[in-house]
Structure 1
């Protein structure tokens, strides 16, 4: 159902099962999949794909050009996954040309009101972002991470899987997976125990992660030595992922 006041570019593809509200604008080369709902006054500028079941509240603005001085109008893209909820006044920008030309938001994400996701960001599945959180360009967020309100990230930061970032935090280095982090600048306060339990990570894996985190936070060890010690632990998938994240960091890792 498309409201008669909606403006849709002739190059856009809109599913017959989509619900497009009053005064919505859908620009060139956009693709709106089955059962998408777009609320009053929302804008989907151009080159944006919104997958099935996603709901945009009124006054959402997605698919705008990247806020990047090097951008020269190239046909970069934004892809938003399935069954996301994106609340009012959120902004999500298309990519620049510095990575793969695509800003991506995964499936089943809950993006609360007034969030900003900048160009070239990669947001995983089942991510929660609370009101007024902002991701700077090229930020990568792992599956099931939670980013609390008024948090901001530096460009090119990574936030690991199932990490929990506390409110009003300033993230300037990579956030290890499965950790609870908070502050300005942010520091690691421990494991995200609540998140681990909610996501079915068992007691043995949590115990192994606790040992790995204690080694990581031991400042008498250089980071490379801490990684070597963590690799000696009895393996579980979560510890392997934790260790691989540390080894692959380019911005540095948040520690105490």
Structure 2
């Protein structure tokens, strides 16, 4: 890694900003006094890093991105809130990520190794896990919680306060208005579950037998001949030895009063159409 910090003369870095080793700031950037740029961060050009924003080592930010702007929330009164972005992220053109609100958790957090394509948006008080992929125009409303290894398709919007579990796949041009369980595929307007993310699960190394258990657990949990609360009780016993199935069960059980879990398109059905599982 180059240890020399390079700042283009057309850029403004306010006194108080902390820059790590090897930071490179291209033309026409603005870095606020409360910002922290980790080692090897690169701002290509025309990037605004505002407020109390911390960017992790090795992250590269492309032109016209704005990181740390005030939240689009009328309850915010201007108090100091934060945005923290993890290491080794790619943040493409026009991406926006906002700090938290002083009337809520006060922090927006983005994990390591994220890939945020052009014009993606992360709103105030969101938590985004590791290895996220947001395609062009993917948008989070405020207070969303996105797990690890989540892939969000282009022009998909996630409603405020929605949770998305680990390894979920949200198809492009979808409206996500309810919680999406781990490992699932969701698509449509308004979106419904379309089965499990079998391709992603295989890539993650999940065993053939565990995939079978997950499919059985999915059908058990969403069996519409019983209340979902009854299904959860039954599934806890039947799939107690399956960590992946228990992740789905625990995810549903932990939902708040303001949340509901997105159901399948058809009763207990999945159409992931992978006949090898």
TM-score normalised by the shorter chain: which range applies?
A: over 0.9
Q: Is the 8 A contact 1:208 1:233 kept in 2?
A: no
Tell me whether 172-181 or 214-223 shows the greater mean CA deviation.
Answer: 214-223
Give 1:72 deviation, angstroms.
1.0
- Taking structure 2 as the reference length, the TM-score comes to 0.90
Q: Deviations over 1:193-229 (max 9, x none)?
A: 0110111111121111100111122211211011112
Segments of 4+ moved more than 2 angstroms: 97-100
Give 1:97 deviation, angstroms.
2.2
State the SS of the aligned residue for 1:75: coil
Give 1:230 deviation, angstroms.
1.4
Counterpart for residue 142 of structure 2: 137
Counterpart for residue 48 of structure 1: 53
- 1:247 pairs with one of 228, 249, 253: 253
State the SS of the aligned residue for 2:182: coil
Counterpart for residue 180 of structure 1: 185
Counterpart for residue 171 of structure 1: 176
Task: State how 1:25-36 maps to structure 2 within 5 Å.
Answer: 25-36=30-41
* Paired residue total: 256
- Taking structure 1 as the reference length, the TM-score comes to 0.98
State the SS of the aligned residue for 2:238: coil
Q: Is the 8 A contact 1:39 1:59 kept in 2?
A: no
- 1:211 pairs with one of 203, 211, 216: 216
- 2:244 pairs with one of 216, 233, 238: 238
Counterpart for residue 274 of structure 2: none
Q: Deviations over 1:77-115 (max 9, x none)?
A: 000000000100000000002443110000001011010
- 1:118 pairs with one of 117, 123, 132: 123
Unmatched segments (≥5 aa) in structure 2: 1-5, 265-277
Once residues 59 and 173 of structure 1 are traced to their aligned partners in structure 2, the CA distance between those partners, rounded to angstroms, is 31
Once residues 68 and 162 of structure 1 are traced to their aligned partners in structure 2, the CA distance between those partners, rounded to angstroms, is 29
Once residues 122 and 98 of structure 1 are traced to their aligned partners in structure 2, the CA distance between those partners, rounded to angstroms, is 16
Tell me whether 87-96 or 194-203 shows the greater mean CA deviation.
Answer: 194-203
Counterpart for residue 104 of structure 1: 109
Q: Is the 8 A contact 2:76 2:103 kept in 1?
A: no
Give 1:35 deviation, angstroms.
0.5
Once residues 196 and 227 of structure 1 are traced to their aligned partners in structure 2, the CA distance between those partners, rounded to angstroms, is 22
Q: Is the 8 A contact 1:172 1:185 kept in 2?
A: yes
Once residues 20 and 100 of structure 1 are traced to their aligned partners in structure 2, the CA distance between those partners, rounded to angstroms, is 31
